[in-house]
Structure 1
């Protein structure tokens, strides 16, 4: 290629030495163009990667027609962030519900007694219950696994509760809730009555008035009367015959006959009628242990001087004047 260059230079020299009538302009850089073409015959390897980078840089630098840049306000950014958080929270809660084991549904069992019938019941936790006549007891069958041992009572029952400090035992009636850790007590909540009576034999219980939102703690040999809309009435000397249905003992101490007869009716499941004018001021005193109604009425007749007559198998009539 060097020879070609030398020839080119010689040609241009000859042209300059001519008579100035050359057809090729002498002010053009033809020698340089000729020299630049010197390497065209050699091997050429382009740098493709570098070329692509330069092309991309130029494309990004070019303005886009009609494009506008939107800047989010703080409120818009906060709204989008909150929406994303809510969606994430809902998804997380849904996954949590899917993986959580299903909560077992509590099952209840009911034990009832007919008029004149009594039953001894042992609950799943080992607590013992004497259920009086015409009563209903409902309890949770899974009480051993539950946080609270729950029962519902309509009627009357005597409880001997297994002590479990971490698992309270609760009895619910229409008027009250009785809570105990371990003790013995009697609860009376008859369907035909508007009161709940609680009497403690040993230990302590808490009685909550569900209607008036009052609460009292009872110790042994204490009782309380819970009426529908009345304040709690606490007794320090329990009723002599409140647990007669369970113990079989009936005790009267100068008790007005008018107050004694309803207890006898309930205890023996009978009806006793009498004329109040026939015995305006009768009172009775005596103790009976597992005696028949006939024996009790005969003793009352001998004590007061009144007459007792049996009308039917379960109906009695009192008449006469007390002596």
Structure 2
């Protein structure tokens, strides 16, 4: 008997011709009937009592087929014993796979994104809070998140305040990097094709990537290139680490091209530098109350002149600005 036909028969998926084949097969020997009994019991064990009524109904059909007149069988060839055993194993495995497939909860993917015009504060199912920066996204499986582990995928920049749970590590995956924590607060800047920056505000985290496995404590920071594996480590200020949470745009020894690049990322605008500026660097922070107030702040603090068109920002240094 073809094991696929038995499989379909047990799950009531067979057609009329296949049912006739199984009935004839049952009438051939008592061993055949024992095989089917074992398979049906295996199915019932897997399903438990969830569908007991349907199982009882099907069992009555099986018994009816078994109780039909059975012709005498003169000989049972030894090879058939091996074939029957193989069929039992094969179909049992098929039943087990189908049961697991049918009873495995489907994933419930959740993706939260921001644009160049908005940020977002997210509370995850475990109580962890995430401050998602401009042009960033956070993904997780809502069904699996609160079971054995807590895992999210970040593309962009965010500040995390992780709700402590010693038996359920919290993991953040970025481009080729994984950050593991139990309960802490930290920031991640991980945009594609850029140097990643990870810093700890409180607690302790572990960062893993190719050729990288490092623990970070409060005020410690790393900058990591996932392509070249270059690594820089230093200490930084709490204000810089919590900037995303506190709605600040932070600059650290940034020249005009670097300022332009950050503004372009944050606000999803084309930023053009007018002229050839002399070398200048700016360190400081500006409260993020929108593009216009930010540019006004930079104009005052860093000597940056600006012009805003429909979708472009033009930057230049004031003529009388000194380094």
* Range into which the TM-score falls when normalised by the shorter chain: 0.5 to 0.7
Query: Paired residue for 2:255?
Result: 256
Query: Paired residue for 2:265?
Result: 266
Query: Paired residue for 1:237?
Result: 235
CA distance in 1, matches of 2:118, 2:297: 25
Deviation at 1:187, TM superposition (A): 1.6
Query: Paired residue for 2:151?
Result: 150
Q: Which segments of 5 or more consecutive residues in structure 2 lack a partner in the other structure?
A: 1-81
> The residue matched to 1:273 in structure 2 has which SS?
strand
Query: Paired residue for 2:184?
Result: 183
Query: Paired residue for 1:208?
Result: 208
Q: 2:217 aligns with which of 216, 219, 225?
A: 219
Deviation at 1:283, TM superposition (A): 3.1
CA contact (8 A) 1:175 1:227 kept: no
Q: Deviations over 1:86-131 (max 9, x none)?
A: 8886687567657768333332211111222111111111111111
CA distance in 1, matches of 2:163, 2:294: 37
CA distance in 1, matches of 2:244, 2:131: 10
CA contact (8 A) 1:214 1:232 kept: no
> The residue matched to 2:245 in structure 1 has which SS?
helix
Q: Deviations over 1:217-276 (max 9, x none)?
A: 111111222323223524222377565343233455664334333334434544442245
Query: Paired residue for 1:316?
Result: 314
**What TM-score do you get using the length of structure 1 for normalisation?**
0.60
CA contact (8 A) 1:180 1:204 kept: yes
> The residue matched to 2:103 in structure 1 has which SS?
coil
CA distance in 2, matches of 1:257, 1:218: 31
> The residue matched to 1:231 in structure 2 has which SS?
coil
Deviation at 1:306, TM superposition (A): 6.2
Deviation at 1:141, TM superposition (A): 0.7
CA distance in 2, matches of 1:166, 1:235: 29
CA distance in 2, matches of 1:305, 1:194: 27
Query: Paired residue for 2:137?
Result: 136
- For residues 175 and 195 of structure 1, do their structure 2 counterparts lie closer, same or farther at Cα, with a shift above 3 Å needed? farther
**What TM-score do you get using the length of structure 2 for normalisation?**
0.60
Which has the bigger relative contact order, CA under 8 A and spacing at least 6?
2
Alignment of 1:14-163 (within 5 A): 102-143=103-144, 145-163=146-164
- For residues 253 and 168 of structure 1, do their structure 2 counterparts lie closer, same or farther at Cα, with a shift above 3 Å needed? closer
Query: Paired residue for 1:281?
Result: 279
Query: Paired residue for 2:64?
Result: none
CA distance in 1, matches of 2:141, 2:104: 15
CA contact (8 A) 1:189 1:195 kept: yes
> The residue matched to 1:315 in structure 2 has which SS?
strand
Deviation at 1:139, TM superposition (A): 0.8
Aligned residues: 242
> The residue matched to 1:166 in structure 2 has which SS?
coil
Kindly report the root-mean-square deviation, in angstroms, between the aligned alpha carbons of the 2 structures.
3.7
Bigger radius of gyration among the two: 1
CA contact (8 A) 2:145 2:151 kept: no
CA distance in 1, matches of 2:228, 2:95: 51
